[in-house]
Amino acid sequence: MKSLTSRVLLGTTAAVAAVLLLSGYALYALVERSLVGEVDRDLVAKARLLASTVAQEGWDLHPEFQELDMGEFAAAERGGFFQLWLATGETLEESLYRSPSLGEADLEVPAAETSPTAKWIDLPPLGPQARGRAVALRFQPQQELEDSGVAPADLVLALARDARALDQALATLKGLLALVGLVALAVAGAVLVAVVRRSLRPLGAVSQRIATIKEDDLETRLETAAVPNELLPVIERINGLLARLEAAFARERGFSNDVAHELRTPLAGLRTILDVAAARPRSEQECAAALRESAAIVEQLQAMVERLLQLARLDGGRSPVVSERYDLADVALEVWESFAAHAVARGLSVELRLGEGIEMSSDRELVGLILRNLYENAVTYADSGGQVRISAHRVDGSGTSLEVSNSGSRLGQGEADAATQRFWRGDAARTDAALHCGLGLTLVEKATRALAGRLELRSEVGGEFVARVTLQS
C-alpha cells in the first residue's frame, strides 16, 4: 500500500475499531456482571430465607415453606426451582423436598458452602439447552427442643432460577452494542476520510509547487509560511537540496565557461602561428620555430586535458585509493627530478629537508600527484633567483606533514584561501595565461581530501607562499 492517504485511513480506522471493540466488550462485561450479580444476590437472599424456615424437633425436620409465597416454584414455567437434601459430609443422602416446578427431576448441586457461591447449571425441567443460575447453601436447622440430645441435621439447599430472560437481555445488549459500534465505525470512517483528505491538502500543494520547478529555475524556494509543522523538515531539506543543486549547476556552468576560455587562448595562439606560417613561404628555420611554438602549445593543451581528467576522476570518486608501503623521501626526490632543471634555469635556491625513515602507508600515485602540483606551483611562481623549500616530518606520532614553500608571493591570505578554486589565478592581468591553467592547487586539494588529509595555505604579499599537506601515515 503506497498511498499515504490509504495508510492513514487504514491505521486510524483500525485504531477506532479497536477502541470501539474494547469499549463495547468492557461495557457488555460490566452490564453482564451487574445483572448476574443482582440475580445471584437475590438467589442467596432467598436461599437463606428458605433455610430459615426449616426447624428440627428431635429426629423430625419441619420445613415450613408453605408459609412463604411459593408461587414462583409452583410450575417449571414460573422459572423458580429448589431442592432440600440431608447430607453426610460431602454426600447427599436423601432428598427431603423438591419444589413442584422440579417434578421428579433433581437439581445439579453447586459446591455447598455456608457462604454460597452461584454458578451456571442446566435446568432439565425446561428442556435441553435451558440455562439457569443456581446457589447451594449448607446449613443446620433451628432446633425446637434444645435438650433433645439429638445432633442437628446437616442440610443442603439448592436454589435455581431460569436465566433465559437474562440471556435474552444480554443477547439484545450484545446486538445493540454491535450495531452501535458498526454505525459509529462507519460514521468515524466517513469523518476520517474528510479530515485526512483536508489535512493532506498542503502535501498536494507542495507536490504541485515542486512540479513547477524547472532545471533553469533552481533559485526558486518552497514557501514555509502556511506549511504544517510536520512538513517543515521536508520543505527545509528540499530547499537545502535546491540550494545545493543551484550551487552545483552554477559551478558546472562556471567550469564550462572557464574551460572554454582557457582552451580559447592556446588554440588562438596555435591558429595564429599556423596562419602566419602559411601566409607565405618560410625558411626551414622559421618553420622549425613555428613547429616548436605549436608543440609547446599542444603540450600545454595536453597537460590541461590530463589535469581536467584527473580532476573529474577525483570529483566523481573514480580514482581508487590503493594503499602501499613506501618511503616519502624517495617519492619526493623522484618527483623533484623533473623540476630540478627548471629551478636551475630560474636561478632558484632549493632547500630539501626530508627526514629519513618516513614510512607511509598510502596511495603512492595520489601523493605523487600532490607533490608534482606543489613543486610546479612553487617553481613557477617563486621570484627569479628566489628560494624554494621542501620539507617533510612526522607529526603527532601517527601523521606526516609535507610542506612546500616559495619566496616572492604576490598573494595575501584571503587570496591564498581562494587559490584552490578551479582556474583561479592571483594575477588579475593573467600574465601567465599561456603557460598555466589554474588547476594545480585544485588537484592538490582534491587528492588530499581523497587521502583523508588536510591542506593548509599561508601567504604574505612579498613573503612566502606555503602549502602544507598533512596525511595519515
CATH number, domain containing residue 333: 3.30.565.10
pLDDT at 434: 41
pLDDT band at 431 (very low <50, low <70, confident <90, very high): very low
| Owning domain of residue 38 | 4-171
For the CA atoms of 271, 274, 276, 277, what is the dihedral angle to 10 degrees?
A: 180
Does position 256 have pLDDT exceeding 80, yes or no? no
Do 445 and 416 belong together in one domain? Answer: yes
| Residue 206 lies inside a defined structural domain of this protein | no
- Phi, psi (degrees; rounded to nearest 5) at 464: -105, 145
- In the predicted model, is pLDDT for residue 258 greater than 70? no
In whole angstroms, what is the distance from residue 321 CA to residue 448 CA? 11
Q: What is the pLDDT of residue 378?
A: 92
Residue 110, CB-side half-sphere exposure with 13 Å CA sphere? 26
Query: What is the per-residue pLDDT across 77-118, written as a single tens digit (0 to 9) for each?
Result: 888 999 999 988 778 888 888 888 888 888 888 776 777 878
Among 287, 312, 337, the domain-final residue is: 312
**Burial grade of 435 (CB within 10 A; 0-12, 13-18, 19 or more):** exposed
* Nearest Cα to Cα of residue 59 among 140, 155, 149: 149
Q: Give the C-alpha distances (Å, rounded to integers) separating 473 from 131, 298, 324, 452.
A: 89, 38, 11, 11
61 near 96, Cβ under 8 Å?
yes
For the chain, give the number of residues. Answer: 473
H-type helices in 135-231, by residue range?
164-199, 201-211
pLDDT higher than 50, residue 430: no
Whether 202 maps to a domain, the answer reads no
292 pLDDT above the threshold of 60: yes
115 secondary structure, DSSP code = S
In whole angstroms, give the CA distance from residue 308 to residue 317: 14
Would 303 be classed as within a structural domain?
yes
* Within-domain flag for 143: yes
Distance CA 332, CA 390 (A): 9
Nearest C-alpha neighbor of 439 from the set 246, 252, 249, 255: 255
Q: Is the pLDDT at 282 greater than 70, yes or no?
A: yes
DSSP class of 100: G
Residue 423, classed as helix, strand or coil, is coil
Residue 344 sits in the same domain as residue 467: yes
Angle at 92 between CA 67 and CA 100, to 5 degrees: 35
* Domain match, 360 and 463 both: yes
Coil, helix or strand at residue 420: coil
Q: Residue 395 above 70 pLDDT?
A: yes
Residue 341: closest CA among 392, 306, 294, 376: 376
Q: Are 359 and 432 part of one and the same domain?
A: yes
Are 236 and 362 in the same domain?
A: no
Contact call for residues 156 and 144 (beta carbons, < 8 A): no
Decide: residue 208, CB within 10 A, 0-12 exposed, 13-18 middle, 19+ buried.
Answer: exposed
Looking at the domain assignment, is residue 221 inside a domain?
no
**Both 10 and 156 in a single domain?**
yes
Long-range contacts of the stretch 11-20 (C-beta < 8 A, 24+): 12/192, 12/196, 13/185, 13/188, 13/189, 13/192, 16/185, 16/188, 16/189, 16/192, 17/185, 20/181, 20/184, 20/185
**Strand, helix or coil for residue 126:** helix
Q: What is the pLDDT of residue 1?
A: 52
Query: Quick one: 362 and 461 in the same domain?
Result: yes
- CA 133 – CA 211 distance, rounded (Å): 71
pLDDT for 27 equals 94
* Percent of the chain topping pLDDT 90: 21
Domain shared by 83 and 153, yes or no: yes
- Domain presence at residue 160: yes
Nearest-CA neighbor of 55 among 180, 169, 176, 139?
139
Of 265 and 323, the one with more pLDDT: 323
What is the model's pLDDT at position 354?
84
Q: Does the pLDDT at position 427 exceed 70?
A: no
Domain boundary among 312, 347, 367: 312
pLDDT at 198 over 60: yes
pLDDT at residue 310 is higher than 70: no
Q: Are 32 and 169 in contact (CB under 8 A)?
A: no
Closest Cα to residue 139, out of 117, 106, 116?
A: 116
Domain annotation covers residue 341 = yes
pLDDT of res. 241: 86
How far, in Å, CA of 140 to CA of 426, rounded? 119
On whether both 64 and 110 belong to a single domain, the answer is: yes
The count of structural domains within the chain is 3
Q: Are residues 243 and 351 in the same domain?
A: no
Instruction: Pull the grid cell for residue 191.
Output: 469523518
Q: Of the residues 258, 282, 312, which one is the last residue of a structural domain?
A: 312
The answer to whether residues 304 and 398 belong to one domain is no
Residue bearing the bigger pLDDT, 419 or 238: 238
| Same domain, yes or no: 328 and 300 | no
209: in domain: no
